[in-house]
Structure 1
Amino acid sequence: ARNQTDSSNTVRVRDGPNDEWRDLVTFPYGEEGGFVDFCADGTSCYITSSMGRETKALLQVDLKTGEMIREISMNDKCDIRGITLDDETKEVRAVTYNYART
């Protein structure tokens, strides 16, 4: 992740160890989100994001385009607090929410 001078936050990726870093997704100032982990398919990753919504959701994003593949979990009343992935399969096993958010 890289913090910009405009206070936005950018997740950066590269296709291989010798390739240039490139921006995958940028969270503008006031939006929350970040990288969680790579998916087992090697072509996507999990991120959290509040862009376009009131609370943070768990999303699967294409590593080439940065486009959302699917929304995995979200709650209109509160942010995601924690995510548990299977160590071997990288599948989402549990998502917890923070109902005490103020």
Structure 2
Amino acid sequence: MIANNNGAAFEHDGDLARLWNTLRVIGWCAVPLLLLLPAVAMQFTSEVQWTAMDFGFAGAVLVGAGGLLELVTRMTVRPALRFGAALVVGLVVMAIWAWAVA
């Protein structure tokens, strides 16, 4: 809660908490959709050839990242720490993905 010079208070943490919860739902819904993309692409092109191991690895990375962010959510209440952790986890996921593709 932040007070201005007139003594009126503004509730910013509630808005950020709602945003964070919305992003969590979107993130968990994105995991199966991201796994469906290569499955659909395999039906239309021969350039995408994923095996069950590829889907398992991708699923483990995405679910692991989501689980880590859920842990951060339960351990912290400060929105800046949550969004910072999400940024770091996202960068780590991209680095793992780049390493796996190379």
Global fold match (TM > 0.5): no
| Bigger relative contact order, structure 1 or 2 (CA pairs below 8 A, ≥6 apart) | 2
Bigger CA radius of gyration: 2
Structure with greater helix percent: 2
Give the alignment's TM-score, normalised by structure 1.
0.22
